[in-house]
A = this chain, B = another copy of it.
């Protein structure tokens, strides 16, 4: 702070400082340490800064969520397409799990209600829908090739989303008590078996050309 010359004043952007501090605290110390006072102290300002730039803790968490959903959607989008939409769907599911395990704190805040009383704003829900649309798009593609009997894309997408979300949530929730590596391979195998089984069960009974 003291030695900040005028060479690229780097704009003492309080807003950015606060956001960076919040993400660091969340990542290093977990959700229970994410308090306005601690964030402000780490950002080098008073608590009032959080209110000036984010309107309060809710706004700050919204900003964190926005960041999380964007990175999450990016990770899903990077799951490169396979030959069949069904293969792509599997790839998306694997990418989903990998991102969740590598960004556990973010995932807990985004999908497991880790920040107590928070309800996400409308903008957040829109960005969250982006990831769902990626999934839904592949489902529609599979349907248009007559790979799936069920005609409602949302029903199929919800089935897959629910399975992936449920398994990942259980894995993250149960990982805390005992971080055994044995559990990890068990969860990975369950994940794969369940996904393949669900896709098998959704397959068209009379495939046109398989």
CA distance A74 to B202 in the complex (A): 32
Q: Is A94 an interface residue, CB under 8 A from the partner? A: no
Interface of A, secondary structure class, is: helix
| A-side interface size class | 35 or more
Given contacts A162-B166, A166-B164, contact A193 B155 (CB under 8 A): yes
Q: Is A189 an interface residue when CB atoms closer than 8 A count as contact?
A: yes
Q: How far is the CB of A197 from chain B (nearest CB, A)?
A: 3
Q: Which B residues touch A159, using CB under 8 A?
A: 163, 167, 190, 193-194, 197
A117 proximity list for chain B (CB < 8 A): 32
Answer whether residue A24 sits at the interface, using C-beta atoms and an 8 A cutoff. Answer: no
> Per-residue 0/1 for A151-183: is the Cβ within 8 Å of any B Cβ (1 yes, 0 no)?
010111011011111110110010010000000
Among candidates B113, B155, B170, B193, residue contacting A150 with C-beta atoms closer than 8 Å: B193
Task: Please tell me if the beta carbons of B163 and A170 are within 8 angstroms of each other in the complex.
Answer: no
The answer to whether the Cβ of A201 comes within 8 Å of any Cβ in the partner chain is yes
Partner of A113, one of B113, B193, B200: B113
B155 and A162 contact, CB distance less than 8 A: no
Select A154's contact among B150, B186, B198, B200, beta carbons within 8 Å.
B186
A94-125 vs B, Cβ < 8 Å mask (1 yes, 0 no): 00000000000000000011101101000000
Is A16 in the interface zone, CB < 8 Å from B?
no
The complex places the Cα of A199 from the Cα of B163 at a distance, in Å, of: 13
A24 to B193, CA, bound (A): 42
Nearest chain B CB to A188 CB, angstrom units: 10
Task: Give A contacts to B, CB under 8 Å.
Answer: 32, 112-114, 116-117, 119, 150, 152, 154-156, 158-159, 161-167, 169-170, 173, 176, 186-187, 189-190, 193-194, 196-202
